[in-house]
């Protein structure tokens, strides 16, 4: 009884905050782009919002995965969430496949989603081009599962990057269509635009986002890279022939490096420009590496410690799944009632 009272009190406090949902796939190596663009911002968001952070393993299998690697990547990502500072007492942290409601709601939402909408998704076209030997229905249906992730928790806000805006728009359309057909059921989510967000680009092509699926390992810095690897990758980072350290549209490579430095050194881009005024790339690149290493080393140490404590990680997942399931089931029950399903006795 005491536990239920505490749970109810927690829910009452959370109901006063807007609900925020976000997640990362446990595939490939998590990069500093994922950290700066998502995880680092989550640390602040968990203080101000009723935050739900998911490890979206169901999404990951739309591209062929080695099962043992997917399992290891899931543990690694959970440990990374915690090592970076996400607090399971402040946020709901769980693995997507541990809450069956995600897949169940996705099936229901498929009935109010049109094939033409899914065919137009830019990411679907891109993934089909990159994985021509495995164009499966999961690739096409990915946005509907994403809509399910969001709508299950009556989410108010979703942090989105440029590559996910189209999917969020579809989630809004699906929510509005369902509400119009069956009566108000879902909160229509809004995009959350970070006040101090930074988009980190590839070290080899400043026109492309830094990606954990990039085949060129020199293009990204992994959150688990060693100091030597980090220094080597920054040393090889593409620059231009003008050796001035200056931010501008005509210097995309240096602008990207300045963005990275400012994110890890805790300064503005303008302050970074002043700091390196008159210095060449030979001075600038090692200093970026030093700033990144200074942030990553304690995170890596804590991640390693957490991975050695599977009992604690299992507890985090079990408690997170329980909290998530309780909320998700309420929404799914409402959806099933609206659809006309006979309730389970």
Question: Which one from 13, 18, 165, 212 is the annotated catalytic residue?
Answer: 212
Q: The dihedral of CA 148, 150, 153, 155: what is its sign?
A: negative
- Within the chain, where are the H helices? 2-15, 32-34, 40-48, 57-60, 67-84, 101-110, 115-119, 122-130, 137-151, 165-182, 227-235, 252-265, 269-275, 281-307, 310-339
CA torsion, ordered 324, 2, 10, 327, to nearest 10 deg: 20
Question: Which one from 40, 127, 251, 285 is the annotated catalytic residue?
Answer: 127
Question: Which one from 209, 251, 285, 323 is the annotated catalytic residue?
Answer: 209
Active-site annotation holds for 212: yes
142 in Cβ contact with 59 (< 8 Å): yes
CA distance 120 to 103: 22
Active-site annotation holds for 209: yes
Residue 129: burial class (beta carbons within 10 Å; 0-12, 13-18, 19+)? exposed
Show which residues are catalytic: 127, 209, 212
């Amino acid at each position: 009884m005491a536990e239920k009272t505490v749970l109810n009190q927690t829910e009452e406090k959370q109901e006063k905050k807007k609900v925020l949902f976000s997640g990362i796939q446990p595939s490939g190596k998590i990069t500093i782009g994922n950290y700066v663009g998502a995880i680092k911002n989550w640390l602040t968001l968990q203080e101000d919002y009723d935050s739900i952070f998911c490890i979206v393993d169901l999404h990951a299998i739309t591209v062929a995965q080695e099962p043992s690697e997917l399992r290891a990547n899931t543990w690694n990502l959970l440990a990374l969430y915690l090592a970076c500072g996400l607090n399971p007492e402040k946020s709901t942290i769980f693995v997507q496949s541990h809450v069956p409601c995600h897949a169940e709601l996705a099936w229901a939402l498929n009935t109010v989603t049109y094939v033409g909408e899914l065919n137009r998704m830019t990411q679907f076209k891109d993934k089909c081009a990159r994985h021509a030997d495995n164009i499966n229905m999961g690739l096409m249906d990915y946005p509907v599962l994403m809509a399910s992730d969001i709508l299950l928790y009556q989410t108010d806000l979703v942090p989105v990057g440029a590559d996910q805006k189209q999917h969020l728009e579809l989630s809004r359309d699906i929510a509005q269509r369902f509400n119009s057909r069956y009566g108000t059921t879902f909160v229509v989510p809004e995009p959350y635009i970070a006040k101090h967000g930074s988009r980190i680009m590839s070290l080899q092509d400043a026109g492309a986002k830094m990606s954990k699926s990039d085949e060129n390992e020199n293009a990204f810095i992994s959150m688990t890279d060693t100091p030597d690897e980090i220094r080597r990758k920054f040393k090889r980072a593409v620059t231009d022939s003008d050796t001035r350290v200056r931010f501008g549209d005509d210097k995309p490579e240096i602008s990207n490096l300045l963005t990275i430095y400012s994110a890890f050194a805790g300064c503005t881009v303008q302050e970074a420009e002043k700091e390196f005024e008159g210095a060449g790339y030979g001075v600038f690149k090692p200093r970026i590496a030093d700033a990144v290493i200074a942030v990553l080393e304690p995170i890596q140490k804590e991640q390693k410690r957490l991975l050695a404590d599977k009992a604690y990680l299992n507890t985090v997942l079990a408690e997170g799944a329980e909290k998530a399931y309780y909320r998700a089931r309420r929404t799914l029950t409402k959806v099933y009632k609206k659809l006309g399903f006979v309730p389970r006795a």
